[in-house]
Chains A and B, each alone.
Chain A
Amino acid sequence: MPTDPKTRRNWLQILGAGGAASLAGCAGGGNDQNNDDPYQDTNETTDSATDESTESGDDTTGATKAKPATVALSTDPTAGVWQVYGGVTPYYTNILEPLIWVTNDMKLKPWLAKDWTATDETTWEFTLRDDVTFHNGEPLTADAVVFSVEEVLKEWSWAPGWLHIKPEGVKKLDDKTVEFTTTSPFPAFPGTIAHNMVAIQHPSRNREEGEVIGTGPFQVVDRKDKQYVKTEAYDDYWNGEVNLPELTFNVISDPNTRALSLKNNDVDIAYEPPKNKLDSLKKSEETDAITQLSPSTGTARLNMYKSPTDDVKLRKGLNYAVPQKLIVEEVLNGVGVPAKGPIAKSIYWSAHEKLPAYGPNMDKAKSLVEESNYDGETLKLFVSNQLTDGKLLAQVLQQRFDKAGVTVEIQVMEQSAFDDAVRNGNAHIEVTESGTNSGAADYLIYETFHSEGDMNERLHEKNDTGLYNPGKEVDSLIEKGFQTGDKNEKEEVYEQALQKVMDQAAVIPLYYSEYIVAKYNDVNDLDLRPIPEMVRWPGIEHS
């Protein structure tokens, strides 16, 4: 795994912190209501989140002021439905901030809220920090939070269902306290709003003029739709000094052009250059590239309810045929980690260490295929054309399955058609990558493996089957994990559910995804996060 030393150091820090945290968790007993939060070891904070500034990269004491920097993003920061935020995405840009932040080990950290408590099953009380000001100089108030959340609930039809909250469920208790009432018990509420989509903005921003007033380290100075967003440092930022005086986000959707723009120094940082450019970017005297593990996993899912993959022996045989390590090395150019389970190892309850790996073992694969009911028919493998390396992955799987005695036909489909076809149960094998950009990653396991999750729901309702749901027992384990506020219990029940998923060979784990960020050599201290959209820019050095 070609990992930048910084990234490796980050992970060592995380492992260390994670170990310390779990010890603390064991010792703490978790009686405190706050500590019941599944993601959080402690949400008590002193008056400064900069305590964790080493981790967030905000500690720039003594650093010289850097030069302006330009970042090439693959997605347009002005496209989409961001009218609620003046037409600029809250991803990547650091203009707006949420109440809670997600740390590198996917736990929750106080951000604009310094504290939160569940006062009963459906009520949450959030206390705001005292030292936060908006870009217009006005202080952060409960009114602004109520306004922001109400706007989000009004703006996106899916938001009330996602947050389990209605507009009347947001209430100001006093100037620094906000109460949220969820429509049903929803322990994942803090994790769900720890998301840039639920960002806090000033109520007096002029939406029609495309104005955005946030609390982040950068404020918008100029923008041109589909081209760039120029920002400059907000000097009164609450969370430490902002090192970069100006930061511009350019959109360059083509990966090769992004890499070439970096090479030409038209941009200083480029997200996700093509994987095959990694070596040349690292070897070049001018550029470098960093990889970062993300909370996404590449898998081949096996339809448990379509003949012949309804035979567990065949599914196990297919599992034994897949060489994860080789796939990462050869197909992904070494960018990624061989997977053991369907949930990314960066999510604490993924049970990555505890799940048994199937292989690779071609002899076992062959004998299991022979023992199964498989009679030589051609299996349909669907892959979306949006999945980078998807076609190559599919071809490697096809070859391996062929060696094990199973014929597979690949169908590369355009994303929408692919979604439809898979959900209708037309595929035997679906090659896909899924992850989360939220602190509440529970929906990952729910959507794929619960009978009422998105993948199974349609067929389950129609004919009581589904696609990848191994049965009622797994349903109840997932429900238990979803509803518990206890971190250890969540880890335990999800592990049991994932064990059963793997026992039934409902999925072939392929790789835990890593993403690449390339940079010009005069840029240092890139502070990447597992969720790429949550990168932090203020501490970056650009000499």
Chain B
Amino acid sequence: MLNFLVRRSATVLLVLVGVSILTFSLMYFTPGDPARTILRQQAGGRSPSDAAVQDFRQQHGLNEPIPVQYANWVWDVLHGDLRQSYYQETPVTELIWNRLPETLELAVAGMLVALAISIPTGVISAVHKGGTPDYVSQIAALLGVSMPNFWLGYLFIIVFSIHLGLFPVAGVGGIEHLVLPALTLGSGMAAIITRLVRSSMLEVLDEEYIRTARSKGLRERIVIYKHALRNALIPVVTIVGLQFGYLLNGAVIVEIVFQRPGLGDLLINAIFARDYPVVQGLVLLIAVIFVLTNFVVDLTYRYIDPRISFEGGNA
């Protein structure tokens, strides 16, 4: 276990360094001068003078060689300082902290919707393989995968807000504001997970021990939900873990359609504004979340399937 932890921590560190170098250089090699872009935005679209641009570059150390800029940034980050947004002139940590709850709320709600739809559907589909429920769920899954989130979002708004008058169109507030975004985000993901649950269940249902359980005279429900599902969930947990990472930053379209100020929205605006500190801070955070989710997923395996060991390199 200790070995595993040490190995994983080293990997985490390596991944984070790699991600930060990559983001840093990508931003600097992307055309578009942050000084000009930011000053133009601040001045209501008016072109800034060259003197103002030079001042800005000087003030934010943009005239230094890129490796020096990177080293300075890493130094600051190691001291817990993600710097200030160029555009908003607010500490990046504060911006992220303000947006994180909205994004977490949406991601968790989206995931719950996805699981609530996909696990029963996947199981039913597998149990009735080749039957009508299977076809229906497979077609639904195909539709779910094919429909882009923004389209689904508008569709839900038109049906549930405009025609049925059940939910507000956009904004943040009580649970009523969360339902449609969570449905939009969750249904796309539900489609992916349904298919996975189905195939995984089918595999498990063919296993010897299921036959043994049935021959022992156990009730079908116990066989499926206690014996089969638990094992079928291993690959699902991996995907759920990965998808949760995607949910955190991939919810951007949903955040835009439903006007939820979250991290996706923050990132996309920062990229357009060439707000380097915000982009770098957010990418770092997203990388941390991804790596940590994977880590947690790996830990979970052991509890789902005790045969999986952390030792011996098969984890």
Q: Note all chain B residues with C-beta closer than 8 A to A253.
A: 256, 259, 265
Closest A residue to B36 by beta carbon equals: A419
A454 to B30, CA, bound (A): 21
Q: Note all chain B residues with C-beta closer than 8 A to A158.
A: 39, 42-43, 48-49, 52
Q: Which of B22-67 contact A (CB under 8 A)?
A: 30-34, 36-37, 39-52, 55-56, 59
**Nearest CB of A to B184, in Å:** 12
B209 at the A interface (CB under 8 A): no
Binary A-proximity of B260-289 (CB < 8 A = 1, otherwise 0): 010001000000101000000000000000
**Nearest CB of B to A298, in Å:** 15
Q: Which of A311-333 contact B (CB under 8 A)?
A: none
CB–CB B171/A264 < 8 A: no
A420 to B35, CA, bound (A): 12
Binary B-proximity of A137-176 (CB < 8 A = 1, otherwise 0): 0000000000000000000111001100000000000000
B169 at the A interface (CB under 8 A): yes
A484 at the B interface (CB under 8 A): no
Q: Note all chain B residues with C-beta closer than 8 A to A227.
A: 171-172, 261
Binary B-proximity of A276-314 (CB < 8 A = 1, otherwise 0): 000000000000000000000000000000000000000
Query: Could you list 22 examples of A-B contacts with CB < 8 Å?
Result: A156-B43, A157-B52, A158-B42, A162-B46, A225-B261, A227-B261, A250-B171, A253-B256, A253-B265, A257-B256, A257-B258, A260-B157, A264-B169, A266-B169, A266-B170, A414-B272, A416-B30, A416-B34, A420-B32, A420-B36, A435-B45, A533-B44
**Nearest CB of B to A248, in Å:** 11
Q: Note all chain A residues with C-beta closer than 8 A to B257.
A: 254, 256-257
CB–CB A416/B272 < 8 A: yes
B154 at the A interface (CB under 8 A): yes
Q: Are A261 and B51 CB-contacts (below 8 A) given A158-B43, A226-B261?
A: no
Q: Which of A103-135 contact B (CB under 8 A)?
A: none
**Nearest CB of B to A380, in Å:** 15
CB–CB A264/B31 < 8 A: no
Closest A residue to B59 by beta carbon equals: A157
Interface residues on B, range: 35 or more
- Compute the total of residue contacts between A and B using a CB distance below 8 Å: 117
Q: Note all chain A residues with C-beta closer than 8 A to B40.
A: 419
A443 to B44, CA, bound (A): 13
CB–CB B170/A257 < 8 A: yes
Closest B residue to A76 by beta carbon equals: B261
Q: Which of B31, B39, B59, B154 has the most CB of A within 10 A?
A: B31
A81 at the B interface (CB under 8 A): yes
Q: Note all chain A residues with C-beta closer than 8 A to B72.
A: none
Other than A158-B42, A251-B259, give 5 A-B pairs with Cβ distance below 8 A. A81-B88, A225-B98, A225-B261, A260-B162, A419-B37
Select which of B44, B47, B87, B154 is within 8 A of A454 by beta carbon: B47
